[in-house]
Chains A and B, each alone.
Chain A
Amino acid sequence: MIKIDKLNQFYGQSHTLWDLTLELNTGNCTCLMGRNGVGKTTLAKAIMGLLPVKSGSIIYDGKDISKLSSDKRAGIGIGYVPQGREIFSQLSVKENLDIGLLGNRNGLKSVPQKIYELFPVLKEMLKRKGGDLSGGQQQQLAIARALCIEPKLLILDEPSEGIQPNIVQQIGSVIDYLTKEEKITVMLIEQKLPFARKHGDDFYIIDRGSVVANGEISQLSDDIIKQYLSV
């Protein structure tokens, strides 16, 4: 689905991603884990084109997209739910979802009914301002908005962060639905082990800007966790 090869990225002078190489399998939920500041969000932004990369390639659907302008990446089916949600706070829920439709490559004109079935709470709040929603609702809106572009690859950056447990559960089942039923590839950046273990298929652990361990989620042993994830 997407193959990242020897990606290098710099923030000014500091070298953040070092020859990072990874591959996501179609229809799988791959968890990207690691301590704070190891480059997980940087990688997500680099895939989205929000940060320029120095060298390396991002092969998506057989094509290198590392030079493609960032707004075009939504058009080829990469959905992104940024950390901290970043919904459009002054726009209504409906308008937020409509913005998602702008990047839809199939020319979809209205929000698919399926999205309201996944997030029934949004249907009741269509006219509310995005900024007036609770944190959990905003997170659901951010995911729904990304689904409006009908992504083939969905990047979720810490969707469970700071959100009440029952909504985290809902988001988890949405991820399961998307990967199992819709065959959407999900890249899940996650700090919470139980959530990753429950919904992930594969894992990658990143440390200091490169991959230090990977495999199926069942292979995520306590040793690895101790070495790379515990503080």
Chain B
Amino acid sequence: MNLIIKKEQWINLAIVASTLWFMWFAQTHFDEYTVRILNNIAIFTILAVSYNLINGVTGQFSLEPNGFVAIGAYVAALLLLDGDAKEYQYDIEDPYPWVLLLHANFVWALFFAGTFSAILALILSFPVFRVRGDYLAIVTLGFGFIIRIIAINNPEVTNGSLGLNDIPEYSNLYWTGGIATLAVIGILNIIYSKYGRAMKAIRDDEDAAIAMGVNTFKVKTLAFCTSAFLEGVGGGLLAALLTSISPDLFTFFFTFQLLIIIVLGGLGSTTGAIIGTILVIGGSEWMRFLDEPMNFGFMETPAMPGMRMVVFSVILIFVMLFAREGIMGKRELKDLFKKRGES
């Protein structure tokens, strides 16, 4: 076995170690509000890097995240709530007996949240990836709507539009940050494996990839199911962070937000997805001061609710004008330190 660690691996280890140290430091030293935002960033990082795998790396335009995040959130919530808590809050209809029996600890809840999403992704893959073209976008868009309608119309399972409340708040930065770190490492390992190369080949030219013997159905399905698994896990973490979920949380706007994140960061770049998450999720919180009354010394402005969204949109427009491929393009962090001409 080769025990000598290369320079690049040292850098990776250092990045992982400092991320984990930062999570610990933030959880123990920062105030509740900051920790909350960091939790959000960590969860959205999981969602963005996994969404980027199918959309940016494999180049299959898909609009699935809200559907799989909803499934993950509901599966995790149903498993985390015990029978008494469920019986107490199901107001519209009495829950099915089996719903009351569902119970598991946090790790299993997250695992089943991811697995359930991945299995549904696998079922969707068969009709969608057998044919070529943009069917995936349409099917996944419809899928998101269907999941939401199912959640509303089956109050015996999901408590309908009231949603599920009093979910135990298990999510903290150790969980969200830890899983986000694992997700990023996992996704990068896929991207740099032979499957990752095949995914990029499909994005660049599907015909040529087939002619080279790439089983495009298998590779696309792998990317899609991996995405769905992590989105399910992210949904579970989100449920355990918010402590209450309802169908309205998982509208198309949820997917849209993730789409903005990965396009802003650079489609196909995992580093870009992380930067995009920090800017969009963190930025929209940190720019809250723009909504409040401001004193410039020579003049005072009244409170302008919504001002931060205006500023945010202007920033987005400028990024798209001057960095058409997003902030990182298709590059990763390590590509920035390479000589010109290398890729």
Contacts and interface: CB of A to CB of B under 8 A. Distances in A.
B330 A90 contact: yes
Nearest to B330: A90
Of the candidates B203, B213, B216, the one having the most CB atoms from chain A within 10 angstroms of its own CB is: B213
A48 B194 CA distance: 22
A7 to B, nearest CB: 19
Contacts of A146: 211-212
Contact of B207 (A74, A82, A92, A104): A82
B205 interface: yes
Interface in B169-210: 194, 197-198, 200-201, 203-205, 207-210
Nearest to A44: B211
A129 to B, nearest CB: 4
A82 B197 CA distance: 20
A213 to B, nearest CB: 28
A103 B214 contact: yes
A199 interface: no
B225 to A, nearest CB: 19
B200 A50 contact: no
Contact of B209 (A49, A99, A128, A130): A99
User: Interface residue tally of chain A, by bracket?
Assistant: 20 to 34
B207 A145 contact: no
Contacts of A87: 204-205, 208
A48 to B, nearest CB: 5
Interface in B307-343: 330, 341-343
B207 A91 contact: no
Interface in A59-89: 70-75, 80, 82, 86-89
Contacts of B284: none
A132 B213 CA distance: 24
Given A71-B216, A99-B197, A128 B208 contact: no
B116 to A, nearest CB: 30
A48 B211 contact: yes
A102 interface: yes
B204 A89 contact: yes
Given A86-B207, A88-B205, A90-B203, A102 B194 contact: yes
Nearest to B342: A127
A91 B213 contact: no
Contact of B200 (A82, A90, A104): A90
A88 B205 CA distance: 6
B215 interface: yes
A88 B201 contact: yes
Contact of A88 (B208, B216, B341): B208
Interface residues on B, range: 20 to 34
A74 B211 contact: yes
Q: Which of A70, A102, A104, A127 has the most CB of B within 10 A?
A: A102
Interface in A92-107: 92, 95, 98-100, 102-104
Interface in A134-193: 145-146, 149
A128 B340 CA distance: 10
B212 A99 contact: yes
A90 B269 CA distance: 12
Given A90-B330, A99-B201, A127-B343, A82 B211 contact: yes
A74 B213 CA distance: 5
A74 B198 CA distance: 14
Nearest to A89: B204
A95 B209 CA distance: 12
Given A82-B208, A87-B208, A92-B343, A71 B201 contact: no
A88 B204 contact: yes
Nearest to B339: A127
A89 B204 CA distance: 6
A91 B211 contact: no
Contact of B212 (A90, A92, A100, A128): A100
A146 B212 CA distance: 7
A108 B23 CA distance: 44
Contacts of B212: 74, 99-100, 102-103, 145-146, 149
Interface in B22-74: none
Contacts of A75: 213
B221 to A, nearest CB: 13
Given A50-B210, A82-B208, A90-B204, A71 B215 contact: yes
A50 B214 contact: no
Contacts of B203: 90
A70 B218 CA distance: 13
Contacts of B268: 90
The 10 closest A-B pairs by CB, nearest first: A103-B213, A74-B213, A88-B204, A80-B211, A129-B343, A86-B208, A127-B342, A92-B343, A71-B215, A86-B205
Interface of A: 48-50, 70-75, 80, 82, 86-92, 95, 98-100, 102-104, 127-130, 132, 145-146, 149
16 contacts: A49-B210, A50-B210, A71-B216, A74-B211, A75-B213, A82-B207, A86-B207, A86-B208, A90-B203, A92-B343, A99-B201, A100-B212, A102-B212, A103-B214, A145-B212, A146-B211
